[in-house]
Chain A
Amino acid sequence: QVQLQESGPGLVKPSETLSLTCIVSGDSVSSGSHYWSWIRQPPGKGLEWIGYIYFTGNTNYHPSLESRVTISLETSKNQFSLRLRSMTAADTAIYFCARTRRSGDKVDYWGQGTLVTVSS
Chain B
Amino acid sequence: QSALTHPASVSGSPGQSITISCTGTSNDIGRYNLVSWYQQHPGKAPRLIIYEVDKRPSGISDRFSGSKSGNTASLTISGLQPEDEADYYCSLYVSSSTFPYVFGAGTKVTVL
Given contacts A105-B51, A113-B45, contact A60 B103 (CB under 8 A): no
Mask for B96-112, Cβ within 8 A of A = 1, else 0? 00111111111000000
- The chain B residues found within 8 Å of chain A, CB to CB, are 1, 34, 36, 38, 44-48, 51-52, 57, 89, 91, 93, 95, 98-106
Interface size (A, Cβ < 8 Å)?
22
Could you show 18 A-B contacts with beta carbons less than 8 Å apart?
A: A46-B103, A46-B104, A47-B106, A49-B101, A49-B103, A52-B101, A63-B1, A63-B98, A103-B34, A104-B34, A105-B34, A105-B51, A105-B52, A106-B51, A107-B46, A110-B45, A112-B44, A113-B45
A52, B51: Cα distance in complex, Å: 19
Residue of B45, B48, B104 with most chain A CB atoms under a 10 A cut-off: B45
A48, B48: Cα distance in complex, Å: 16
- The chain A residues found within 8 Å of chain B, CB to CB, are 46-49, 51-52, 60-63, 96, 100, 103-108, 110-113
A63, B1: Cα distance in complex, Å: 9
Q: Evaluate contact between A104 and B46: CB separation under 8 angstroms.
A: no
Given contacts A104-B34, A105-B34, contact A111 B45 (CB under 8 A): yes
